Structure 1
Amino acid sequence: MGVLRAEEMICQVLVDLATCLANLSPRRSGLDADYILAEARAVIPLAEKVGMLGLARVAESVVECAGRREAAALAATLARLQRVGDRSLLDIWDFTDLA
């Protein structure tokens, strides 16, 4: 793939992840289970692609809760996804700043 192409791919995945996480914000999603289900499903392969397995696992939990229409659990796992996602993206950006 080459270093340049790999960097471009990782940057695009990070942008896509940031977009998905922003779309999952309760202000945007309105806790609409179908919308959240689709966006959280999109997070999983993106996170796995760049080795963010913890983020992928939390997104899977969001998918499960949205699929069951468990409002309280969905709100809690969605909040956790936001925290883990924000932390993961910040860690990656901080790491690339050091490189």
Structure 2
Amino acid sequence: MNVVDKIVTLEHKETVRLDSDRLNGLYRQLGEKNALDVLCRTVEELAVRLSNCERFWRQRDWAGLRKCARSIVAIAEQIGMMALACVANDVAQNVDAGDSVAAGATLSRLIRVGEKSLTVIWDQQDLSV
């Protein structure tokens, strides 16, 4: 057996959780058109913040990363993206603990969960541009 036979490829699969009660409440409160407008803007804002978190990580801007991750928690909770909120909170906690390795690992997970969450909510709500 040669060394190449021992290589294992890890495949990351993330499960996302959406709180349908929060989404339904948003629709009841705002009406369909306004709720869709809010969701479109929110999805765009979360995408920008995920990108910003990655930039803060590359720049080693720990305060910026923490602040950005905490803002993702608040936004994600408002529209029922509970998995995204949980992982963003983990990033902020790792930054607070001064653990850059764990922060990097959880940031990678945040980006995976974020992309999956945004796709799921986009598809579920048929947020056509």
Match for residue 26 of structure 2?
A: none
Match of 1:52 among 72, 81, 90: 81
Match for residue 43 of structure 1?
A: 72
Could you say which structure has the higher helix fraction?
1
Deviation at 1:93, TM superposition (A): 1.9
Q: Does 2:96 match 1:92?
A: no
Deviation at 1:98, TM superposition (A): 8.8
| Count, aligned residues | 97
Q: Does 2:105 match 1:76?
A: yes
- TM-score normalised per structure 2: 0.70
Match for residue 21 of structure 1?
A: 50
Which is bigger in relative contact order (C-alpha 8 A, separation at least 6)? 2
The aligned amino acid for 1:12 is: R
- TM-score normalised per structure 1: 0.89
Match for residue 63 of structure 1?
A: 92
Between the aligned residues of both structures, percent identity stands at 37
Task: Find the aligned partners of 1:35 and 1:98 in 2 and give their Cα distance.
Answer: 30
Q: Which structure 1 residue ranges, 5 or more long, are not aligned?
A: none
Q: Which structure 2 residue ranges, 5 or more long, are not aligned?
A: 1-29
User: Which consecutive aligned stretches of 4+ in structure 1 deviate over 6 angstroms post-superposition?
Assistant: none
Task: Find the aligned partners of 2:65 and 2:38 in 1 and give their Cα distance.
Answer: 25
Deviation at 1:13, TM superposition (A): 1.0
Q: Which has the larger radius of gyration?
A: 2
Task: Find the aligned partners of 1:97 and 1:14 in 2 and give their Cα distance.
Answer: 12
> How much is the aligned-residue C-alpha RMSD, in angstroms?
1.7
Task: Find the aligned partners of 1:89 and 1:49 in 2 and give their Cα distance.
Answer: 14
* SS at 1:76 equivalent: helix
